[in-house]
Each structure stands twice: as structure tokens, then as C-alpha cells.
Amino acid sequence: MTALILALVAGAVVGLALGGLGGGGSVLAVPALIYLLGFTPAEATTASLVIVTLTSVTALTGHARDGNVTWRTGLLFAAAGIVPAMAAGAAAGHLSQALLTVAFSVIAALAAVRMLRPATAVAASGAQVNPGRAGAAGAGLGAVTGFLGVGGGFLAVPALVGVLRLPMRRAVGTSLLVITINSLAALGARAGTGVHLDWAVIAPFTAAAVLGAWDGKRLSRKLEGGTLQRVFAYVLLAVAVFMLIDAIS
């Protein structure tokens, strides 16, 4: 019963982050699965991909209905990350649990610091996109997704704004498309690794995340985006520090 309650609460928080910010859910899902629900890092990163894929599809539906998804740009960005996501996902199964934990905490800390920096000015609509930079950003995001079992939205949103010059609201919606595609690719690469998945925990976690994603989308309309982002960044930074200390102690 305790595991069920923890899964529901953690899932709701993950959904709120994905629905409201267009990313960040998996960065909370992995530590929640490890420290609250007893998963190993390999199990947690794989389970996170299942949770984030299903939740992202739900959140994507709402943003697409509001016209906040740039489909062509998102598909091109995601396409560059499919092969790196699959390759990194296959390699992650052969790495030590401690190394995965340290790598995850470092990436999470960098993401938190990036979210606390002032927003980059958005170029005028129709600005020229550098294909090389866009491809490099997409490939890097795919590799992170596959390696750490995260959807990459916490990195996708800044990349879509800074590299592809999308307005913030469209970047949030489009990032959910990128997350879904990258997560599916990484999950496919891990399908034959033999990692155990506890569906009795994953199922309620995912259900709560899906419901939370709808609430997150509504919340993002009522609160200033910068406020939500700063709160999330501080929580993420605290989680990253805790995981790093735990991994090296």
C-alpha cells in the first residue's frame, strides 16, 4: 500500500512537470523510482522511459489542440536523435549502477543551472535555422535520452528556443513531440537487455503522471512560466546534489 501511494504521488509530480514545463518529468521520475520505490538505476531509467513516453503523448495531445506544436521542426529535430538514442540506450545496460547515478546527477545539476539562467531572447519568426547546429543539438539530446533514460525535455526546451528560435510556448509543446520520439527509440534499444520492470508500480505511477500532465497544462496558463521554472530548477538541483553525494559516499 505504501509503494502504491508513493507511486501515485511521484507520478502526479512528474505529470505536472511534463504538462506545465514541457519536460523535466523524467529527471524527477528516476530518483523517485530509485529512492522511494527501491528500483536499481538500470530499472529506474528503463521504467522512466515507459512512464515519460505515455505521459508525453498525453500532454502532446493537449498542446497540439492549442496549436502549440511545430510538427515539421520537431520531427526534424527528433530524427537527428533517434540513432544516438538507440546506441546510447544499448550501451547503458553495460555500465555500472554507480556510473549511471553519477552521470544522471551531473546532467540534472547542469539542467537546473541552465533553467535558472535568464531566458535567451527569441529571434523574430522565420529566422534562419542553422541545420548543423540543429542536427548536433538533436543528436546530443537523443544520446542523453538513451544513456540516462530521460526524455530530455529539460534540455529540449532551451535548445528549441536558443537553436531553432521557437517562442517559449511553442518550444514547450514541440519538446513533447521530441521527447516521445526519443523515448520510444531508447526504449526499443533496451527491450532486449533483460531489465526487470515492476508493472505493479509502473502502472499506477504512469496513470497518476498522465492525469498530472493535464493539470500541469492548466496550471501553466495561470502561473507565470518563470516562476514554475525556478521552483522546478531548485528542486532538481537539490535532487542532483543528493544523488551525487549518495553515489560517491
Tens-digit pLDDT profile for residues 159-171 = 787 777 788 778 8
Quote the CA–CA distance of 2 and 226 in Å, as a whole number: 34
125 Cα distance to chain centroid: 26
Does the structure show a pLDDT above 70 at 123?
no
Does the structure show a pLDDT above 80 at 67?
yes
Long-range contacts of 241-247 (CB under 8 A, 24+ apart): 241/105, 241/109, 242/31, 243/31, 243/34, 243/101, 243/104, 243/105, 243/108, 244/102, 244/105, 244/106, 244/109, 246/101, 247/98, 247/101, 247/102, 247/105
The predicted structure's pLDDT at residue 199: 92
The predicted structure's pLDDT at residue 205: 94
Residues in CB range of 139: below 8 A, 6 or more apart? 80, 81, 83, 84
pTM: 0.74
Please give the average per-residue pLDDT across 136-150, as a whole number.
79
Phi/psi at 124 (nearest 5 deg)? -65, 150
Please give the average per-residue pLDDT across 68-85, as a whole number.
86
Please give the average per-residue pLDDT across 26-36, as a whole number.
84
Please give the average per-residue pLDDT across 223-237, as a whole number.
71
The predicted structure's pLDDT at residue 120: 52
Q: How confident is the model at residue 223 (pLDDT cuts 50, 70, 90)?
A: low
Does the structure show a pLDDT above 90 at 204?
yes
Does the structure show a pLDDT above 50 at 77?
yes
Residues in CB range of 234: below 8 A, 6 or more apart? 112, 116
Please give the average per-residue pLDDT across 35-59, as a whole number.
86
